[in-house]
Chain A
Amino acid sequence: MSAAAPKEKPSTNPILWVARPMATAARQFAKSLIRPSTIVYPFERLEDPKFREEVAVAAGKPLGVGAVWDNYRGVHALNIATCISCNLCAFSCPDVCIQMVAVPDAQTKRLKKCPEIDYGKCSYCGFCSDACPEGCLTMTTRYELSATKRADMIYSPEKLYEVFQRKLPMNPIRLERPKNEDAILLDAPLCIGCNACARDCPTQCITMLDIPKPTPKPGEKLPRRIWKEPVVNDSDCVRCGTCISVCPKECLFWGTHT
């Protein structure tokens, strides 16, 4: 089962001491004299069309990486128009580099929260774009991000939208999300029907349904509340947890439908 590694003895012929390496180097020299594997960077780039096809491997040039270059995780692109302000990118960021800041929406002229990314902290893991339910935060192939000031590395939503408008190749990998049993459940006795969850739900999938007001038994005091209860439409829910975080009574929780 074990392959003993070859054990060559050093050649006794003094000419051969240096001949083989020198011949190898000369062969490389002859090869690279015609075509060295260097990419003249600011003028040629790996994502150039000429590297998209399969470039001959003989010169050590990249091997058709261009064809799959689009997978590269570089700077984000944000489509502000479709962003639903669900916070999922900020939640999923392991480096806490995403902050939700308010920007005016182009159509409604109202402020809405969109991610602002600090590229001095981002580790380009792609968790945010994986988590984005609407596909509005994607990663592009742009990678050059040098700045002379630290503040230049913080990309506001507008700047990310600028990147989006450049129509760079987007990362095409859309994850097929495995099923998961999590859903928003309601701890009904705690609910006061305040409508906060329905108001803040980014996908508008929570509707407040009327519940019958119970007739109080003699001596029993009814809780002061609005007689409505949230109902979550599971197929529309992106499971961002905004409702949970805004709930004043902490009556919504993650759970499994049984």
Chain B
Amino acid sequence: MTVTLYSVAQSIAQAILGAIASVLPPAGRGVASAPVVTGLAVLLFAAILLVASMLNTIVLIWFERKLLGRFMDRRGAMHVGFAGILQNFADGLKLARKDTVRPREADTLGFWTGPTAYLVTSLILFGILPVSSGWNSGVLPLSLLLALAIFSFAPLFIFVSAWSSNNKYSLMGGMRSAAQMIAYEVPLLLSVVAVVLVSGSFDLTTIVEQQQNYWYGGPLLLALIVFVAAMLAEMERIPFDLPEAEAELVEGWNTEYGGMLFAFFMLSDYVRALVGSYLVVLLFLGGWTMPTWVPSTLTSFPLAGIVWFMIKTYIVFGVFVWVRAALPRVRTDQLLRVGWNRMIPLALLSVVLAAGVVYAKCLPVFGCVPGLGG
């Protein structure tokens, strides 16, 4: 039996409405009727998802700060809350209280809508990506495509907010960001094509379930590498953090942003980092499933899927942090050259390899490998 988020929301809604109905006069008993329960359940579903995902993101920021601290031979945030876990709440509250200064020459509409839309589109992704079977907004046959499509909205909003803030550094950062994201969109999608070829589905749940015993990260290693590299560029993290390259463009495209709008940017960056790690886990590392050789006591407790999924996600994110701690940032033209000249051929090659894998599963030798069906 699986607990889905929707079922949880539904039971909560039922309980709430039942309690309300029990105290209401009989005429008002209708509040507990099915459509109302469904409506409230959907709202609760969204609220739980949003709050849990935001909390997850904030914990992710804390995780990065602590991890990066240790990479740098120091402790990282530690005095606010136990081991600094409340640090990011303090940051968020402080930024919420701060003034947001709009430069006089800035374009009002773009200045406000850019960050907001950036955050909103990033948050939508949480509704699409399943963290365990049933823990998404229902069965979408094309959820992978939808997620990637929404994921690639970002350059537009970054560019809008950079341009409208009327600052030379912002503009350069925005242009770099747009160029970089467009250049890396192609290898990202191509490496996903490899997964889709093997799994034969665009549905993330299906893709994950097919990896029960056979993670795609093994046979599609090349696609995994290309995907991770392209994802680093999409998430604008070192070594591809050119749009906000601190040393040359003060803070890149968010130079003019302060207060809550800056918090939006900060949060969406980490939302995208979390989503990127989700995608890596979903597409290549078996999602919430664990191989059958893992003792069943470790995989069958309640919410085991989510726990395993998060463990994998944080390990993947830890690798991103590791890369950030060890590598310098590349240059814009080098980045674009690598994107167009290296990554796309490699991604194409990974598609070809995936086709090879699809062919190989027809061979009797591999035919016995479970999980490659489909």
Contact = CB atoms under 8 A, between A and B. Distances in A.
Determine whether A and B are in direct contact in the complex, meaning some CB atoms lie less than 8 angstroms apart. yes
Interface of A: 18, 21-22, 24-26, 28-29, 31-33, 36-38, 40, 59-60
Interface in B68-82: 69-75, 78
A25 B325 contact: yes
A40 B74 CA distance: 10
A101 B195 CA distance: 83
Nearest to A19: B326
Interface bracket on B: 10 to 19
A22 B322 contact: yes
B150 interface: no
Contact of B73 (A22, A26, A28): A28
Contacts of A31: 73
A25 B73 contact: no
A38 B75 contact: yes
5 contacts: A18-B326, A25-B326, A36-B74, A38-B75, A59-B73
Nearest to A25: B326
Interface of B: 69-75, 78, 322-323, 325-327
A253 B274 CA distance: 80
B323 A22 contact: yes
The prevalent SS among residues of A at the interface is helix
A22 B70 contact: no
A26 B322 contact: yes
A86 to B, nearest CB: 47
Nearest to A26: B322
Question: Considering residues B73, B74, B323, which has the most beta carbons from chain A within 10 angstroms of its beta carbon?
Answer: B73
Contacts of B73: 28, 31-32, 36-38, 59-60
A60 B75 CA distance: 13
Contacts of A59: 73
A25 B239 CA distance: 15
B74 A22 contact: no
A28 B326 CA distance: 10
A36 B83 CA distance: 14
A33 B72 CA distance: 10
A22 B75 contact: no
A38 B327 CA distance: 23
A22 B71 contact: no
Nearest to A31: B73
B70 A29 contact: yes
A21 B74 contact: no
A32 B71 CA distance: 7
